[in-house]
Structure 1
């Protein structure tokens, strides 16, 4: 060891003698100069350490800019409920949709027909959540016990669904027969049976003569019939219909409802969204009232009618020119007559809503369940001539009022 140290000292002495100028500069270097040279590298290391710590903190706790989730108690469905219901919505919520859905829960069993009631309340959004076209914020959707939110299993659930969207989704360049053939093969119908099935379905929906025509040349009515035919093709266990009779002629609307009724008798469950009261009265055995994305009431049609407040609907025709020989006032315009009728109704019934007014024809809703129908008729008939009313009609409130609830204009 001593010998090695001596050799190193001897080498240093020889180097100093040969390179005096170089070693003279090295002797002048101090500890501070070394630290100063290392400072940039230390700063880079500290910045990387802080960045790593920040990323780790975000990974563990989440971003502070993101809205924190509210962990409310979620209603858990049992395995028996999933098995007995073809469609089951468990506390479904969608906050990112155009019309948000708030905690909707209901089930649909075999041969059930559930009607979704509500103007601009999120019915289409709810249908898109069921078919996974929109993402859920919370909750689960089960179709025959299969969780639709699971990407690996949702395709098994799609085999059980027939869907008629609000906007037609068939290929416009294909003919009606070609569209039905494509969707029939996807549904699993055999080729030798497909022609008979499509022709029978087109006959029942009254558009067989247009099967060879391209779909883009169809009328609005025939397009809706074709979309409905695609949805019911093969009699799937669950059929979701969004405005199936919108745009269909009144003469052919009964054909569409008859086809849906026959498919329901074969065992299919139907989820119907419509703004037509005839669809609900013909098909549905249950109704679900949705208001602003929230499920307000659900139950049989009879109980839903009994649950509603029993008001009165008044239809008035104001024709002062027809009663000119019996009136003492000749210079009343239409607005003045409306104001006079409105004040009289408010004075006698209390709570009155004007639903519609077109060229002197007025539709009122009297929100008073204590006035009998005969008494209301006497009150209006007593002042009919003074109010410039040529004709009027009074009836009890019915289910139709739920479609215009959001359009009330409060006069009180």
Structure 2
């Protein structure tokens, strides 16, 4: 039986008005329900552009993106209630506390007061922020700020979660805590689309991947199968083999 598709990306291309070349060219991917799908590639490969299109932040120049929930098509107007996005940049108010930030963003998702309070306190406890819930986020360490960022992105229990470098610049303990919790919500049914430059983390975390370079998908599928096909001992070797060794800063 074929796995139900959560996101169907068909021949998506993107060219910005001031650009000479496409940022994305003819990208086609299927991301299954409850998958952990890694979008990987060098700097400037088009990963963030693709995530921005999937989240509805920018439109594609051509091609289509279809979302499904429980095998039912989701209209563009309905998508935002199903989607959570944790960007690489901090997306909270530094002068507010974690509790105040979660209240603010939870209200934006139209969560009822009782639901919001219960969800807020659960996340503060689970992500190790309860002791600091009433301190200004601006005084936090990088790892704590990442956990606040994650809590905001999942306050409304999204069915599909987009993560752009969710553990960049954090200590080992925070990274382990973040990844462990993400694995738990994935087991509960949340589909995760993830991008990172941490190849060892991506190899342990992702079920399927797509490697993107110069705006094109150059490999996609089950990671173990891709490694066997390309005779690569690990994801980092596969990445270098397919994208080359030149600098991409």
TM-score tier by shorter-chain length is 0.7 to 0.9
Structure 2 vs 1, CA of residues 136 and 298 (structure 1 numbering), >3 Å: closer, same or farther?
Answer: same
> Is 1:130 aligned to 2:63, yes or no?
no
For residues 6-405 of structure 1, what are the structure 2 equivalents within 5 Å? 84-96=4-16, 100-120=23-43, 121-144=45-68, 145-146=73-74, 154-310=76-232, 397-404=233-240
- Whole-Å separation in 2 of the counterparts to 1:155 and 1:179: 25
What's the offset of the Cα at 1:407? 6.3
Count of matched residue pairs:
237
- Whole-Å separation in 1 of the counterparts to 2:244 and 2:141: 30
Task: Give 4+ residue runs of structure 1 displaced > 6 Å after superposition.
Answer: none
- Whole-Å separation in 1 of the counterparts to 2:151 and 2:207: 22
- Whole-Å separation in 2 of the counterparts to 1:188 and 1:87: 24
Unaligned runs of 5+ in 1: 1-80, 147-152, 311-396
- Whole-Å separation in 2 of the counterparts to 1:162 and 1:208: 22
What's the offset of the Cα at 1:188? 4.4
State the TM-score, normalizing by the size of structure 1: 0.53
Structure 2 vs 1, CA of residues 282 and 234 (structure 1 numbering), >3 Å: closer, same or farther?
Answer: farther
- Whole-Å separation in 2 of the counterparts to 1:276 and 1:188: 35
What's the offset of the Cα at 1:285? 1.1
What's the offset of the Cα at 1:155? 3.1
- Whole-Å separation in 1 of the counterparts to 2:228 and 2:7: 27
What's the offset of the Cα at 1:185? 3.0
Structure 2 vs 1, CA of residues 131 and 291 (structure 1 numbering), >3 Å: closer, same or farther?
Answer: same
- Whole-Å separation in 2 of the counterparts to 1:226 and 1:249: 15
Q: Of the two, which has the highest radius of gyration? A: 1
What's the offset of the Cα at 1:279? 3.0
What's the offset of the Cα at 1:137? 0.9
- Whole-Å separation in 2 of the counterparts to 1:156 and 1:185: 17
Alpha carbons 1:85, 1:108 under 8 Å: kept:
yes
> 1 or 2 for the larger relative contact order (CA 8 Å, sep ≥6)?
2
Unaligned runs of 5+ in 2: none
RMSD: 2.4
Residue deviations 1:366-399, cap 9 Å, x none? xxxxxxxxxxxxxxxxxxxxxxxxxxxxxxx421
- Whole-Å separation in 2 of the counterparts to 1:89 and 1:218: 38
- Whole-Å separation in 2 of the counterparts to 1:89 and 1:168: 28
- Whole-Å separation in 1 of the counterparts to 2:95 and 2:66: 35
What's the offset of the Cα at 1:175? 1.4
- Whole-Å separation in 2 of the counterparts to 1:107 and 1:126: 13
User: Secondary structure of 1:226's partner?
Assistant: helix
What's the offset of the Cα at 1:197? 2.3
